Amino acid sequence: MLNWQTLAGLAISLVCLGYVLMDVDFGQLWDLMRHMNWLYALAVNALLAFSFWVRSQRWRVLLAPVKDCRLGGLWDANIIGFMANNVLPARLGELVRALTAQQLAQVPASSALATIVVERILDGLTLLLILFATLIFADPAATAGAFSVGYMRGAGYTLLAGYLAVLAMLFALWRWPQATMGTLCRLAGRLSPRLGQTLEGILQTFHQGLMVLGQTRHLPLLLLLTAGTWLPMLMEYVVFLPAVDLPPSLFLACMAFTGASLAAAVPAGPGYVGTFQLACLWAMMMGGAPQQAAANFAMLFWAVQYFPLTAAGLITMWRRGLTLKGLRQARQAEPSPPGRP
């Protein structure tokens, strides 16, 4: 049954997509698709594949304190997890990725989930660095729809505060586990005893996988691999701009990239459909792109990644003999952390 969060995400996606489609010249978009050089789409997916390879290398480093994993299993888990994000509501892809790693790399799903949280901190701080660097060159008075440079900067500061708070909590959970869990669970228990019990289980789960925080010698490598994960993804935007008759501008690509990244923080349907297109459209218009060209880019760029990645994930899942139902059953069979019922 769909819960209210899922329904809200789907509603937001539909509204955003409808807003974008109102101003799309479908005749021009169709002509553009018929005459487009599809080598641009091939280049985008080649860069995406390289980014996934680097991402898998980084995950291997993060999981090293738990187990020395084979790269192939982590690559497949990444592909399947991102496919799941494209087809499942509520952004369940990260959970699917952890459960797939449990099956293919034989690591506890709880440890995989904890390392994914660390990944998200590294990713978030990197994306915010790109955002703030991009806004240095943006027109402070630029606006488009509900977007403005001031809004993007404010959203960046808000996300930065959130990431730093989560990072501080994870460090405290690693360094002083019992005291941190006791304090947080008592605070949550004052609001609701059930909430306190749920939070205790979550914190126990994450504590199992936080051994990587003790491997500080790996931090420079992790930062390098994080840059290697996201720079190819930024270059995807650069190389695809000429496909819609826009110049290969690094600034315009950065605007589209940061707009789409901010959209990922908004509740949406599977694959960030609607929110991606609208945020990308507004950000590119703020960067000086014509509205129709920006809309064409937002629609086509999303499609040339979404469909190949989804197909690759489904094929990988079939090749590995995995199903979503089987992954869920494996999660239920995983032993509970010590001290957790």
* Residues 98-118: tens digit of each pLDDT: 999 999 999 988 888 888 988
Q: Sign of the C-alpha dihedral, residues 114, 309, 227, 54?
A: positive
DSSP letter at 176?
S
Name the nearest CA neighbour of 74 among 54, 89, 91, 90. 54
- How many residues comprise the chain? 341
**pLDDT surpassing 90 at residue 130:** yes
Phi–psi pair at 81, nearest 5 degrees: -65, -45
Cβ–Cβ under 8 Å, residues 71 and 56 = yes
Name the nearest CA neighbour of 188 among 180, 198, 200, 196. 196
Phi–psi pair at 143, nearest 5 degrees: -140, 155
pLDDT bin (cut points 50, 70, 90) of residue 215 is low
pLDDT bin (cut points 50, 70, 90) of residue 221 is very high
Residue whose tokens read 């609001």: 191
Residue type for position 124? G
The average pLDDT across 56-75 equals 94
Of all residues in the chain, what percent carry a pLDDT higher than 70?
Answer: 93
Give 184-200 pLDDT, tens digit per residue: 999 988 888 888 888 88
pLDDT bin (cut points 50, 70, 90) of residue 265 is confident
Q: At CA 19, angle to CA 127 and CA 277, rounded to 5? A: 30
Q: What is the reported pTM? A: 0.91
Exposure on the CB side of residue 298, measured as CA atoms within 13 A = 35
Residue 201: predicted pLDDT: 76
Q: At CA 148, angle to CA 147 and CA 151, rounded to 5? A: 90
Burial of 190 (0-12, 13-18, 19+ CB in 10 A): exposed
Could you tell me where the beta strands, DSSP code E, fall in 8-57? none
Cβ–Cβ under 8 Å, residues 295 and 20 = yes
Q: Check residues 230 and 24 and name the one with the higher pLDDT.
A: 230
pLDDT bin (cut points 50, 70, 90) of residue 209 is low
Q: What is the DSSP string of 321-335?
A: T--HHHHHHHHHHSP
Average pLDDT for the chain: 90
Where are the chain's structural domains? 24-175+209-330
Residue 341: predicted pLDDT: 43
Lowest mean pLDDT among 32-41, 79-88, 129-138, 184-193: 184-193
Residue 338: predicted pLDDT: 46
> Residue 221: beta bridge partners?
none
Residue 340: predicted pLDDT: 45
Q: Check residues 76 and 24 and name the one with the higher pLDDT.
A: 76
Of all residues in the chain, what percent carry a pLDDT higher than 90?
Answer: 67
The average pLDDT across 223-239 equals 97
The average pLDDT across 137-161 equals 93
Hey, what are 43's tokens? 């280049």
Residue 251: predicted pLDDT: 97
Residue 91: predicted pLDDT: 82
> Which residues, 6+ apart, have CB-to-CB distance to 168 below 8 Å?
none
Name the nearest CA neighbour of 232 among 51, 98, 94. 51
The average pLDDT across 68-96 equals 93
Give 7-23 pLDDT, tens digit per residue: 888 999 999 999 999 88
Helix axes 291-319, 4-22, angle to 10 degrees: 140
Q: Check residues 157 and 334 and name the one with the higher pLDDT.
A: 157
Cβ–Cβ under 8 Å, residues 278 and 20 = yes
Residue 331: predicted pLDDT: 65
Cβ–Cβ under 8 Å, residues 96 and 313 = no
